[in-house]
Amino acid sequence: MTSGSIDLRSDTVTRPAPGMVAAMSAADVGDDVYGEDPAANALEERVAGLLGHEAGLFTVTGSLANVLGVRAWVAPGQELLCEARAHVVRAELGAHAALHGVTTRTWSHPRGRADREAIRELMSPGAGPYLVSTAAIGVENTHNFAGGTVHPVADMAALRDLVQGTGIRLHLDGARLWNAQVATGVSAREYAEHFDTVSVCLSKGLGAPIGSVLVGPADVIAEARQWRKRLGGGWRQAGVLAAAGWYALDHRVDRLADDHTNARLIADLIHEAAGSVVDPESVETNIVLLHVGRQAERFVARARAQGVLVASVAPGVVRLITHLDVSAADARKAGETLAAVARDAGA
């Protein structure tokens, strides 16, 4: 973070607090490539249990967890369906295609939801010798580029019904699934039970320095463990990092509610100054999208000059994300600053 500024570019910018660092230095570790790291093994088991799946795999990033999850279901030349702004198609640098020959088709939904009718029209399992066969569908909850939106759990159940008997598998990109849990009171487990594999991040709102976990059936996770190593992601005393994730699960889940309150506060302040820039009712979790017209880059530069860091994520769209290193006072200050920038921009 640029010193003295309020960094709202992502919830990945947090620093490990002393309690977390203490947990990391006390970790019971071993060589995880041999499966001998007690802290990594414990974390994998804990997250799998929390999400109601058989087994877990600790990975360096959420992108790697998604790559391994999607690879498990989609053979080279088959397709993954997902929403048009999904992280798997926008922000993983084409990894699924570049590494595993996965093709994608997308549907669009204003809130990033799993639009049942659109998916029904796209789905073509076992498509034969001419058309690409659909092997899996990816859902993102909360949906990052749609503005931290949460899926109704009923939509997940409906999606499961839709693919029943087709052989199509479901992968959940739950990088911010904990935010969905805190926002709705629907447990991460209730969301996860509708999916064949689920990835969750420990390094977003939970504030661990590194780490995600992929969960799924034991045989799929065993194979993903081999692929992780094949891709260069085998690690040795990973327990040092797993301990940070463990600490995060102990101490950082319930407090996500504060991030949601702070995001809403920022949106309210901006809305008061420039009503068309943001609809506060659209803020469901810790992400706020600002619709700033054509001048997104200029908006970002002006905010930066006044000590608030935000990100341009699409033409005309600026994103800000609250996190544990943003206090309520920071949120108020950032909201006031961004409100002034939006007002001056004549938005």
Ligand X SMILES: *Cc1c(COP(=O)(O)O)cnc(C)c1O
Residues that bind ligand X (CB under 6 A): 61-63, 66, 87, 140, 144, 173, 175, 201, 204, 212
Q: How far is the CB of 196 from ligand X (least distance, A)?
A: 17
3-state secondary structure of 18: helix
User: Which residue number is nearest to ligand X in terms of Cβ?
Assistant: 62
C-alpha to C-alpha distance for 216 and 61, rounded to whole angstroms: 17
Q: How far is the CB of 115 from ligand X (least distance, A)?
A: 18
DSSP symbol at 295 = G
Q: How far is the CB of 204 from ligand X (least distance, A)?
A: 6
Q: How far is the CB of 60 from ligand X (least distance, A)?
A: 8
Q: Which is nearer to ligand X, 63 or 134 (CB)?
A: 63
Q: How far is the CB of 66 from ligand X (least distance, A)?
A: 6
Q: How many CA atoms lie within 13 A of 9 on its CB side?
A: 15
Take residue 229 and report the two structure tokens written for it: 């190593």
Q: Which is nearer to ligand X, 326 or 339 (CB)?
A: 326
C-alpha to C-alpha distance for 250 and 177, rounded to whole angstroms: 16
Q: How far is the CB of 281 from ligand X (least distance, A)?
A: 22
Q: Which is nearer to ligand X, 63 or 285 (CB)?
A: 63
Q: Which is nearer to ligand X, 61 or 187 (CB)?
A: 61
Q: Which is nearer to ligand X, 235 or 274 (CB)?
A: 235
Q: Which is nearer to ligand X, 133 or 179 (CB)?
A: 179
**For helices 256-273 and 328-344, angle between their N-to-C axes, nearest 10 degrees:** 30
Q: Contact 299/345 with Cβ under 8 angstroms? A: yes
C-alpha to C-alpha distance for 109 and 237, rounded to whole angstroms: 42
Helices (H), 51-176: 62-73, 87-90, 95-100, 116-122, 153-163
Q: Element (H or E) spanning 173, and its range?
A: strand 169-174
